[in-house]
Structure 1
């Protein structure tokens, strides 16, 4: 009898262990949808190639009906960029993403464009957290509007998501927006966070706004190369389209382009606490033609647009040609829209020259009527126009800096008026500019010139440190207002590419 009891006990133990092993060995599948650098392009748009949030919401909602485990992440540059967001300083975007059940957002450089006080308000009104583990304050006080990471559980699998903001934020938003903030080294920060998470979670996800641009010191590629233990990086900032992701060491990097042109998703299979399979994919806008827009998101967008329409629909003039503000063009060469904007700045002050950063130009304008809304979309940052006085040597140094990252499509690339210069893009940075003319005459390094710029650059934004100490001669209000005034006075406008900037 004792042997029989022992056998039954042993059999029971074996059965329990077998069942336990079966449960532990069960595969858990997780799908992570992701976007980045939407810049508030929330509507479907043929011209920009945008899918829009309403179709994204429909696709994610369908996946949540069909799959048990679905996450939705945003890698930053979310709350700013288009009229629908800028007029209410991001509130409409917060509301829409809440309705889409966003799990988390990493803070991009342009998410600071309304200032820190507004970020506090946006965080308070949003049901999803803002992640930036490498963000701190100079005075040591806690930052109320960010978290280092979150942990979510799916069928027993714990997923840790931590955020990283690009240190470039210190000069890729207006410096006043980040006063008192420190953007720590994202590599060392990631090492610390991964060490903290590794005993708590099965899957580690870095939600980053670093990008993979060769012009950046810190990239997601460098992160994957130098920090082990990260299963997936959902990235933004450089606007790259990674159709099937990019494997670096044992880390998958995923990025979904820009402007809601793509909805990304990553499928993970987790077994016994280990990621056994990971696959990245993109859904391009072209494949969503038959997708029916989510009714609620569409309704919200329509209501916000109607409220804004009184302001944005006013016509300020006409253009006889398409005005080229495409990202890849204004950041690598002269465009007619860049010429129009800088001509307006130069004319406003009667300046010798004008210079603005290509990264501040965010859209093109079709031939025909130009509305206030279109101008605000082109120049969405609320920058003011300023006139400064600086030496020819400093002006040349600014142009050298502006072409230092060429041919990379970086926002510091200059658009100019009253200036003509040529440069050798193959030469060492700092020695690329060959000849410069101002007002048709060769630049005199010892002469003082008046130059119009925007307050972002004047404060050293985009690395234009040579402007920071230049005396301010005059200010003229919003840059978008200066442009609208110029268009109205000169309509119809028909700017051309004139050879102001020549790459040899």
Structure 2
């Protein structure tokens, strides 16, 4: 009897071990959906080419029902940018992402635009974590609104997701929004986090807002090159469209463009704890033509828009031409919308010159009536305008800085009024500006000039450190209010490009 009992026990143990091995040895398929740099463009939009969250939600819900192992990640710059978000300081975006069951979001530089106190409030109201492993406080205190990483499990496969935020945030949001914060080297941080995760998970994912722009000091490509062990990097910040991803060493990097124009997804196959296959793809707006909008998301968006309509639908004037505020244009050359904005600043503050950063212009305006909502969408950051006084030498230094990253589409590229300058984009940065004229006269190094700019640049934002010590001689209201006032006074408007900025 004892022998029989032992035999049964032994056979049972063998059977359990065999079943356990079989389960562990089975392939597990996981799909990771991702977006980045949506900038609160939550609705489908023919003009912007956006899919919108309602259709995305339908696709993600369907995959969750049919596949089971589905993750949804957001690579940052989500809470700010359009009226639907800016009027309520990001709350609408938190609600919508909650309804879409996003698993995690990494912080983008523009997610700091409402300030740290509001970011903490958004974190508290959101049912998903904000990730930023390289974000610390100068005083060593814990940051309550972020985590370094999360771990999710799918059919026994553990997936670790860690976040990295670009150190450019220190000057790509208003400096007051990041007081007391330190954005540590993302490569060093990634090494440390990956080493910590390596014994805890089967798959390691970096959810990063670094980008792959040549103008950036740190990129996701550098992380992939220097940090072994990362299976996938879901990236944002530089707005690139990586259709099938980009392999760097053994790491796949993916990015889904901007403004919800694409929904990215990555299919991973894991066999006995090892990644055996990884494929990336992007779903285009055209491919979603027949996709029905998710009822819940659509209803929530409609309700928010109705509540905002009383403010945003008011007409401020008419434009006879399309006002060009496209990202790739305002960051590489003169545009008619850039001219209108800087003309409005110079007229309001009665200065010699006006200069604003192209990165602060976030949309175009169609020909026809212009509403308050459209102007707010173009200038969503709540910046104020002010006049400073600087020497011709510093003004020239500002222009040198402004074109230092050209032809990269960086936000520091200028739009100007009262000034004309030529530059050689092939010359060494710092020696690119050729000729400068202010109100038709050649720039004088020792002469003092009044310059209308915004408070972001005055504080050194986008690297305009030559403005920080300049005395403020006059202040005005919000930049969007100044532009609305100018349009109303000069309607109908029809600005043109005039050769204010000439690349030789």
Report the TM range for the smaller structure's normalisation.
Answer: over 0.9
Q: Does 1:103 pair with 2:114?
A: no
- Measured in 1, the distance between the counterparts of 2:206 and 2:315 equals 44
1:49 aligned partner: 49
- Measured in 2, the distance between the counterparts of 1:160 and 1:479 equals 42
Unaligned runs of 5+ in 1: none
1:194 aligned partner: 194
1:409 aligned partner: 409
Deviations 1:15-60 (A, max 9, x none): 4443332111101111010000000000010000001000000110
- Measured in 1, the distance between the counterparts of 2:112 and 2:4 equals 72
1:284 aligned partner: 284
Q: Does 1:485 pair with 2:485?
A: yes
Alignment of 1:156-195 (within 5 A): 156-195=156-195
TM-score if structure 1 supplies the norm length? 0.98
- Measured in 1, the distance between the counterparts of 2:419 and 2:259 equals 32
Alignment of 1:351-362 (within 5 A): 351-362=351-362
How far residue 128 of structure 1 moved from its aligned partner, in angstroms, is 0.4
- Measured in 1, the distance between the counterparts of 2:401 and 2:221 equals 25
- Measured in 1, the distance between the counterparts of 2:92 and 2:7 equals 67
- Measured in 2, the distance between the counterparts of 1:432 and 1:295 equals 53
Alpha-carbon distance change, 126 to 10 in structure 1, aligned in 2, over 3 angstroms: closer
1:153 aligned partner: 153
Q: Does 1:132 pair with 2:171?
A: no
- Measured in 2, the distance between the counterparts of 1:35 and 1:6 equals 57
Q: Does 1:69 pair with 2:72?
A: no
Q: Does 1:58 pair with 2:54?
A: no
1:116 aligned partner: 116
Alignment of 1:247-286 (within 5 A): 247-286=247-286
How far residue 350 of structure 1 moved from its aligned partner, in angstroms, is 1.1
Deviations 1:126-165 (A, max 9, x none): 0001000000111111100000011111111111111000
Alignment of 1:374-385 (within 5 A): 374-385=374-385
Deviations 1:387-442 (A, max 9, x none): 00000000000000000000000000000000100000000000000000001000
How far residue 274 of structure 1 moved from its aligned partner, in angstroms, is 1.2
Deviations 1:91-149 (A, max 9, x none): 00000000000111000000000000100110010000100000011111110000001
Secondary structure of the 2:341 match is helix
2:227 aligned partner: 227
- Measured in 2, the distance between the counterparts of 1:14 and 1:152 equals 30
- Measured in 2, the distance between the counterparts of 1:337 and 1:324 equals 5
- Measured in 2, the distance between the counterparts of 1:142 and 1:15 equals 49
- Measured in 2, the distance between the counterparts of 1:137 and 1:152 equals 27
Unaligned runs of 5+ in 2: none
- Measured in 2, the distance between the counterparts of 1:267 and 1:185 equals 30
Q: Does 1:418 pair with 2:418?
A: yes
1:34 aligned partner: 34
1:343 aligned partner: 343
- Measured in 2, the distance between the counterparts of 1:499 and 1:51 equals 36
Secondary structure of the 1:34 match is strand
Provide the aligned C-alpha RMSD in A. 1.3
Mean Cα displacement is larger for which, 5-14 or 192-201? 5-14
Q: Does 1:306 pair with 2:309?
A: no
How far residue 9 of structure 1 moved from its aligned partner, in angstroms, is 6.9
- Measured in 2, the distance between the counterparts of 1:5 and 1:304 equals 69
- Measured in 2, the distance between the counterparts of 1:2 and 1:107 equals 63
TM-score if structure 2 supplies the norm length? 0.98
- Measured in 2, the distance between the counterparts of 1:335 and 1:28 equals 51
1:386 aligned partner: 386
1:469 aligned partner: 469
How far residue 446 of structure 1 moved from its aligned partner, in angstroms, is 0.4
